[in-house]
Structure 1
């Protein structure tokens, strides 16, 4: 059965993803299509156009995509002025002998391929960014270095649970039972310029293997990078665990992690049979699903993992 799941903020892209599958598109096509809808949504402050900027007011985007049938993957990080990092990541996967490009290199590649450039900072996101800084950074600074030194003291604003829980996840299964996973984000608001979380890191925020399943994460990426959470879930399923057992084990490992800025982490998971679920630590949340026989996507609660 054709099926797509997403983080809750991906709900608006699920019908587009399913339409791709119904037209005979691949799982990779579907996750890209779903991500693109969210990336273009200016009301989502955590992904694409309208995403909240870094400490110095620049919107930096990260994304990754993985084909569970071939284990091919592509990722980009710290990309500015390009609305659809998920599509650039796919081109990295398909056209380069690399897995990841970051910063100026990723932007150069996007320009070579003809991707459109635009200002990603909306007036609304700029106002939120300015308000946050004005509440913390005051005074007059002689030069940019002094200003940056002052800003560094407040990078912890990025760890505010109200600011960093974004990122969109999509996992799709096509008519051949192939699975793909896509992740896109603008990262933490007020992050230090150049910061990468787990979204572009294959194995941490995104992993797919059609033989066993796929997983994707949102939340404090520094935690999932250290534990390779997405691949851990898939490996646990490969070892014989059920989807529920695998996800619970990986999420419980996060509870034990020592981190000065310990924060919420959530995941969405699909196994090779199309079973799906979602899990979270740090507070309740939800995810969304659509199948080929559904007219509209459905939002479901995640399983909250606690001690």
Structure 2
């Protein structure tokens, strides 16, 4: 009888000790950027690192100008120039490389990788980030195209610089182009501009990957918000905002209204929620709800991935949000669309 009790006790405890095989390698990508996901997966399935997968996957979108919101030739600023932001984070070392307002260099995610690997810094910005890129062997070239120039001309000449991101200035930014000059806030309390997030203005590609060694990496690349004030940097290249990775937990990435989302570090929050035991979907929902509690009209989404390959997403302010997943359980990538 005693031996039977011991056996039953062992069997009862043993079922809690069974750990399912991790679903790795795996990559998850915001929106429907399947070509980037496929490239990242090709790296991972051949035994490549998560960092390489993120860099090479995001590079595909930069070259293909995904939806006009990633890479050169999209989202001109008020001066008609396209500038780029990018981030790559190594969850094994917790090291980061990022660039903001990068000018005249097409490969923003690769420049960010060089910041990570060839400097003791984490973030370089503007014209001097371009100078660094040139030193690293990158080619300077215009990021404008005939399409981006036409887009800017219509905005400036036909639409009288509407929409724009100015407030408490004169002349009235809701009616006229600049240059602008500050006025007292009580003279003009124009509401904060909300970025419209749709297929052609969602601000970024975000990616998270776990490789065969269990190493986690995350990254972003974007050309920012259309008609932004020159020098603007959104959430995409900011660690914890645009993306975050930690080998102990997993990673997350965000997309949408970057000027608002960066204030809440949604990617960091999602990872910390997973650390506390939340599922990826629950973690993403918590991050999104935190923002919505203060800005109920914001538009955006968060994707999350655990170190063992569980994944999920949450969104707000848009009808639906697609993301792409590729792992060893699928013959091809899968686009998953969630309602917001």
1:149 to 179, 184, 187: 179
2:312 is the alignment partner of 1:282: no
1:112-151 alignment, distance < 5 Å: 112-137=135-160, 148-149=178-179
CA gap of 1:69–1:36, structure 2 versus 1, over 3 A, is same
CA apart distance, 1:121:
1.4
2:111 to 58, 74, 88: 88
Question: Where does the alignment leave 5 or more consecutive residues of structure 1 unmatched?
Answer: 139-145
Asked if structure 2 preserves the Cα contact closer than 8 Å seen for 1:9 and 1:168, the reply is: no
User: What is the match of residue 282 of structure 2?
Assistant: 245
Q: Tell me how far apart the structure 2 counterparts of residues 160 and 302 of structure 1 sit (CA, whole Å).
A: 19
Aligned length: 295
Q: Tell me how far apart the structure 2 counterparts of residues 22 and 271 of structure 1 sit (CA, whole Å).
A: 18
Question: Where does the alignment leave 5 or more consecutive residues of structure 2 unmatched?
Answer: 1-23, 162-175, 183-187
User: What is the match of residue 15 of structure 1?
Assistant: 38
1:159 to 195, 202, 207: 195
User: What is the match of residue 9 of structure 2?
Assistant: none
For the pair shown, the structure with the greater C-alpha radius of gyration is 2
Q: Tell me how far apart the structure 2 counterparts of residues 67 and 53 of structure 1 sit (CA, whole Å).
A: 30
Residues 53-78 of structure 1, C-alpha deviation per residue, up to 9 Å, x if partnerless? 11110001000000111111110000
Asked if structure 2 preserves the Cα contact closer than 8 Å seen for 1:65 and 1:86, the reply is: yes
Asked if structure 1 preserves the Cα contact closer than 8 Å seen for 2:204 and 2:256, the reply is: yes
User: What is the match of residue 141 of structure 1?
Assistant: none
2:213 is the alignment partner of 1:176: yes
1:106 to 129, 132, 135: 129
User: What is the match of residue 192 of structure 1?
Assistant: 229
Asked if structure 1 preserves the Cα contact closer than 8 Å seen for 2:207 and 2:219, the reply is: yes
CA apart distance, 1:296:
2.6
User: What is the match of residue 304 of structure 2?
Assistant: 269
Greater CA drift, 103-112 or 245-254:
245-254
2:332 is the alignment partner of 1:296: yes
CA gap of 1:267–1:43, structure 2 versus 1, over 3 A, is closer
CA apart distance, 1:131:
1.2
Asked if structure 2 preserves the Cα contact closer than 8 Å seen for 1:77 and 1:103, the reply is: yes
- After TM superposition, the score normalised by the length of structure 1 is 0.89
Q: Report the aligned-residue RMSD.
A: 2.4
CA apart distance, 1:158:
7.7
CA apart distance, 1:157:
7.5
Asked if structure 2 preserves the Cα contact closer than 8 Å seen for 1:289 and 1:297, the reply is: yes
CA apart distance, 1:129:
2.0
User: What is the match of residue 63 of structure 1?
Assistant: 86
CA apart distance, 1:150:
5.5
Q: Secondary structure at the match of 1:58?
A: coil
